[in-house]
Amino acid sequence: MCVIETSPVIETRRLALRAPGAHDISRIAQLAGDPEIARMTCRMPSPFRTEDAEAFVMNVAMQDPRRANTFVIEHEDHGPVGVLGLFHDKDRAPEMGYWIGKPFWGRGLATEAAQGALAWAKTRWSKKAVVAGHFTDNAASGRVLEKAGFLYTGETRRQFSRARNAEVDTRMMLWLA
């Protein structure tokens, strides 16, 4: 049976992954305003402004939880440090995407958030697989995905990056529950 939770919370050692709210807008705008974040993603605009954070929070509130679940990554000491989303797009399996604010890079937080989200996807969202892709110039994200248990499929896709306004070679990876 597929269990649907409207506002799931995922807890890991240092993090809670929870639904974004209006109170997160200024922090999301501040952290995502660093252009190094958006340029590694497909969908985020650059510059990323307060109105983009507002639109993000509103879009997440309207998501169908059977199709997409997007979380603010909240650190026990530092508050919101990033965002992680699981969503159905082109593939049969849902796709995972994420970003961590630059002041918090290199502490294992993306890996910890991804591991928590994957465990949730398996047990609470009844998913058997999750896909992800990283731009070829984003080895750090490839490493996060490897550490979380993804393997390279061998496929490289050309994916459009809104922030770069260009198509970028993207290495596809797969995680099996």
Ligand X SMILES: CC(C)(COP(=O)(O)OP(=O)(O)OC[C@H]1O[C@@H](n2cnc3c(N)ncnc32)[C@H](O)[C@@H]1OP(=O)(O)O)[C@@H](O)C(=O)NCCC(=O)NCCS
Residues 6+ apart with CB under 8 A from 153: 172, 173, 174
Question: To the nearest whole angstrom, how small is the minimum distance from the Cβ of residue 160 to ligand X?
Answer: 14
| Among the residue ranges 3-11, 23-31, 47-55, 95-103, the one whose residues contact ligand X (CB under 6 A) | 95-103
Asked if 109 is part of the footprint of ligand X (rule: CB under 6 A), the reply reads yes
Nearer to ligand X, 57 or 131 (CB): 131
Asked if 105 is part of the footprint of ligand X (rule: CB under 6 A), the reply reads yes
Asked if 40 is part of the footprint of ligand X (rule: CB under 6 A), the reply reads yes
Asked if 99 is part of the footprint of ligand X (rule: CB under 6 A), the reply reads yes
Asked if 63 is part of the footprint of ligand X (rule: CB under 6 A), the reply reads no
Residues 6+ apart with CB under 8 A from 58: none
CB 72 within 8 A of CB 17: yes
Residues comprising the chain, all counted: 177
- Letter string b/e over residues 9-33, b meaning 16 or more CB atoms within 10 A of that residue's CB: ebebebbbbbbbeeebbebbbebbb
Binding residues vs ligand X (CB under 6 A):
37, 40-41, 97-100, 105-111, 134, 138-141, 143-144
